[in-house]
Structure 1
Amino acid sequence: MPPIDRNAQGLPEIHYMRIYRTFRRWQPMGCIDAIFSNSVRRLHDDQLLDLAVIHGNGTTTAAKKDGDNLSFSGHQHLKGDKVVAFFDRHCNVIAPFVIAAGNRNESLLLRDALPRLSQIARAIGMDLQGAIVSLDGVYDCRVNRKVIFNRGMVPNIPKNLRAHKILKRGRKRRFNPAIFEEHAFAPLSACLPGKTSFAACYCALNASVRRTTRSRRSPIR
């Protein structure tokens, strides 16, 4: 719902679809990615990022109409799409979202999200060597741990009972409950003002999904 003024004849000065087409033209040009990477670069230059611990989390956004990447999630009992994001200890989102259908397994999406995190780190000069990656138990598998170790980071993932039977003969597990508790309460502290908050990005994502998942015949407001 952009604030469009009206002219002397009472008609809108610009049609909302012109704004939408401009936004869609910026996406393939890389403008949105440049805005995001420069915002992370600014936080890094101002020393506002705490990369000692990197939290990863996923969520499913509900949507009832047609749209991209929509499917029914039997675990969440809703129809929508799923995202996976990485954020630092101050709840600043430091990597682009990985978007997939709502019925996709988050454990597999991690292997697509980590390269984006490494790409942003190389672009702005962030040092992620030795950083702790805190994740939920759904990501507990040998492949995910190996991917994190190969990138020079240390996984902090709670035990998954199904995966534990497979991992009990592999590398010794490293898990710090205090860091995982920080991961559990991190989104609550994202509402603090003056930060690129994790909750604010999710609210923007939810709003964009609601707009893009309506019927093609109904106007996008």
Structure 2
Amino acid sequence: MKKVAVVSLSGNVGKSTIAKHLLLPRMPGAEFIAVESINADEGSDDMVRGDQFGQLQEELMMMDSAVVDVGASNVEDFVKLMQQYRGSHEEFDLFVVPTVKDSKQIKDTIATVQALKAMGVPARKITVVFNKLQSSETVEEEFYPLIQYHEVSKAYTLRQSAAVDYSELYHKLRVHKTTIPELIADTTDYKAKMREAKDDEEKMRCVAMVSMRRLALSAHENLDAVYAAITKK
């Protein structure tokens, strides 16, 4: 898998989490493109112009590997322009559609899959990632409408094991400006540093790092399993 688009007509489904923490670390050398930022210089975050999309697809053709994160406010324009540039969807090996269990987001997920299907994207290149699943929940119960939609339409590839567990880690990563691989690779003995700390602020930072590393280990294992599920032939 070399080029992946992360898309959803809905916000608050964790597209950035999927793009930056699930995909990028497991696609060596992949470049990251945020579509919501390609028009920032024009002072608008609401519309992707045709010339911008044309430039984007030309850049993609030159890249060996890429993860494209399409902001919710840009998805409709992105899809319409992809329809104009016939066959441009073929630049992507996979379209990942993140979703959460809220009814609106599930409806938007179905609408996203339908939009991709309408432009000719085959079901084998569309996969749904079930995000923020609590330990007491199952995909079959929480995302039943999506399971049912798949049974009727076969419009996307269903992998019930492609479920990202809920973890407070993802919020902490943004606050502390770090990543899961960085946390796992960090061999600092924060417990020793905590004992040596001269003030409470430094102690709390050490405690936070120990806690995040523990969360990172379980999150890494979960994300490995999800990646294996969505890339399974």
Global fold match (TM > 0.5): no
State the TM-score, normalized to the length of structure 2. Answer: 0.30
TM-score of the pair, normalised by structure 1? 0.31
